[in-house]
Chain A
Amino acid sequence: MVRKWMVDSVKWIGNGLLAIGLLCGCTHEFDNHKNTPSENFEALWQIIDEKYCLFDDKQVDWDSVYAVYQPQFDTMKIVTFEDQYRMFDLMEEMLNTLEDGHVNLYTPFDVSVCSSWYEGYPTNFDSEILTKYYLKDYRRAGGLNYCKIDGDSIGYVYYGSFSDSFSYLNWLMVMNYFAECKGIVLDVRNNGGGSMENAYRLAAPFFSKDTVVGYWQHKSGREHDAFSEIEEMKLEDSKGNWMRPVVVLCNRHSYSAANFFVSIMRYADNCLVLGGKSGGGGGMPMSYELPNGWMVRFSSVKMYDRDMQSIENGVRPHLLVNQHSEDKDDLIEEAVDLIYSAYKKE
């Protein structure tokens, strides 16, 4: 009797456990996206439609983009691997209508790239000239490459990527090395961006007081004009300031965090920005996945300069200078002259 009751109890517990497990399993509404070309297209179009922050700047009618591309995905079938490439190419083409370097599609076999934002602009940078005549015997502090130029009287720093981190100590040591120099040339040409933290860190010594350097706002809803309150971006007095002249060099390939850095350096003490118009990329990116596991990156946080102008399309330097010479860097030479002339004025 007791044994039967025991067996029944075990059965009852087992069945109960199974039932609860199944019940929980049934409550899933996991993964309601289908992995078909049309659903992937719908997901991609919708992600951009709801989350992209720069429709105002781009003046792109996203609904008409849908009308153009939707029929092509509707009839598409993924059978061979070539079909994957075809779908990727079509999605890339659609995304590139935004002309935004921060909009990319990441797949296991390729990454979509938009190049229209820098095409047609002067390069203003020759790495061969730089390494041959200026950055010959240089030192490295984190991501900062630095040396003294023009008879050791000017400090020169080349920072090629804001993804290459450096510490504030690195930066202070570099400035200490330049203690006897008349000024610094800070070169962020061909810097494709990276971390905003590094941009703040690099700019900090050139601000002697707390300064509002820009504003930002992020998307807060699905509508194209749904944004959060505008927030200040402030650079605080670093208490270790560089008080002598500094010239920032930029070109069209100074993008994203480098573009932001150029923008904020316009408000620094004793600073002049020189070169070509920077590349833009004033929308901080985010990413999200499509049903097929591909990842789309897009601008989702909009940045403005201190005058509430969007910096998405680039920042104009104080002084437009283009590279013409074949045996010297015209921008560096101009920057050196400007530093000397600042002393002459005094």
Chain B
Amino acid sequence: MLLSVVCQVVALAENWGVEHENLLSVRYGGMWMQDQYLSPLLYSGQQVGLSNEWWQEFRCDSTKHWENVGKMDVGFGWMYNNMYTNLIYSLGLHGGWGACYNWHFTDYGLRVKLGPYMDVDLMGKMHGSSVNKPYSMDLAVNLCAMGGLEWAFRAKKTSYRLRYMVRANMIGMDYLPDYWHSYYEMGEGVLGDFRCAGMWNHRHLQHELTFDMQLKRSTWRVGIAHEYLEYGEKGMMFSREMVSAVVGCVWQYRVRGAKDLTVW
């Protein structure tokens, strides 16, 4: 989160006079996980998270077609196996930056977004009762394709915005532990545990449907988010799935010369 704030301060300095949109949100929902390095079983439970996302136009883009987006996210999950005999904790960190091209359909208040996104996805996992194999992690650096639809409209003197965004990895690198290694050997030959990853062997899909509404002077967001990750090799399968309810607050501002910024 601190990094997120620093990035935005830098972005502000670089983009003086450019319109910014910032979202701070929390989420809560269900989580399913399988990590066959730790266990052959499916674990399911709950997760909470805190996310900071920002959108801003590129300074040089007078047509307002291009905007950049960044995101920092931290989440914590706890899951049991079906028999409730063991527990896995997870701590996830996600950071990414991308750019979107916007097609405006102003008559309908519609925007179509498409662009590349680069992210780092890290999730540490701890098995509550494993001997010498208690830790594992998902780690990947991905170049993703990002797209979405945004529809802004006014009703009863209030601005609303409905947005659907989807992001899927295209190509990158991921980490796979050696099945035969205990935790103190996981650091050995780390470079050998990284591999080229893409849609063919590492599927990571994140999408969310959100609804922003203006309430007096503030703008609030509610939505649902879904994340699915699946990859595997060496006889092991790693996957996780999260479905979350999202609640957040949106700020839209211009550092200088702001005018009627709450109307999309």
The interface of chain A, by Cβ under 8 A from chain B, is 2, 5-6, 9-10, 13-14, 16-17, 20-21, 24-25, 27-31, 33, 35, 43, 51, 106-108, 218-221, 228, 284-289, 291-295, 297, 300-301
Contacts and interface: CB of A to CB of B under 8 A. Distances in A.
Contacts of B131: 285-287, 297
Contacts of A51: 180
Nearest to A227: B180
A5 B108 contact: yes
Given A24-B241, A293-B82, A33 B40 contact: yes
B34 A218 contact: no
Contacts of A284: 132, 182
A287 B226 contact: no
Nearest to B181: A218
A218 B180 contact: yes
Interface of B: 32, 34, 39-42, 81-86, 108, 129-133, 149, 151, 153, 162, 164, 166, 180-182, 185, 203, 205, 207, 209, 224, 226, 228, 230, 237, 239, 241, 243
Contacts of B130: 286-288, 295
A35 B181 CA distance: 27
Nearest to B149: A13
A293 B164 CA distance: 39
Given A5-B108, A29-B237, A288 B40 contact: yes
Contacts, number: 104
23 contacts: A10-B162, A13-B164, A14-B209, A17-B209, A20-B226, A24-B228, A30-B239, A31-B42, A31-B82, A106-B129, A284-B182, A286-B132, A287-B133, A288-B39, A292-B83, A293-B82, A293-B83, A293-B84, A293-B85, A293-B86, A294-B85, A295-B85, A300-B180
A79 to B, nearest CB: 17
Nearest to A287: B131
Contacts of A300: 132, 180, 182
A interface majority secondary structure? mixed
A299 to B, nearest CB: 10
For the complex of A and B, 7 pairs with smallest distance between CB atoms: A293-B83, A293-B85, A31-B42, A24-B228, A287-B131, A30-B42, A289-B39
B132 A291 contact: no
Given A6-B151, A218-B185, A286-B132, A293 B81 contact: yes
B204 to A, nearest CB: 11
B46 to A, nearest CB: 17
Nearest to B84: A293
Contact of A295 (B42, B129, B243): B129
B41 A33 contact: yes
Contacts of A287: 129-133
B34 A31 contact: yes
Nearest to A17: B209
B interface majority secondary structure? strand
A9 B239 CA distance: 31
B205 A24 contact: yes
Given A33-B41, A288-B133, 9 more contacts: A2-B108, A30-B32, A106-B129, A221-B180, A288-B40, A293-B41, A295-B85, A295-B130, A300-B182
B212 to A, nearest CB: 14
Contacts of B40: 31, 33, 43, 288-289, 291
A218 B32 CA distance: 31
Contacts of B84: 293
A245 B171 CA distance: 62
Contacts of A14: 209
Nearest to A298: B131
Contacts of A31: 34, 40-42, 82
A25 to B, nearest CB: 8
Nearest to A297: B131
B205 to A, nearest CB: 6
Nearest to B227: A24
A132 to B, nearest CB: 36
A33 B133 CA distance: 21
B14 to A, nearest CB: 34
Contact of A301 (B41, B149, B151, B182): B182
Contacts of A301: 182
A66 B248 CA distance: 57
Contacts of B129: 106, 287, 295
A12 to B, nearest CB: 9
B182 A289 contact: no
A166 to B, nearest CB: 19
B28 to A, nearest CB: 17
B122 to A, nearest CB: 21
Contacts of A6: 151, 153
A20 B243 CA distance: 12
Nearest to A21: B226
Nearest to B34: A30
B183 to A, nearest CB: 9
A4 to B, nearest CB: 12
A29 B42 CA distance: 10
B205 A286 contact: no
A13 B203 CA distance: 21
Residue in B131, B153, B224 with the greatest tally of chain A CB atoms within 10 Å: B131
B182 A286 contact: yes
A10 B164 CA distance: 10
Contacts of A13: 149, 162, 164, 209
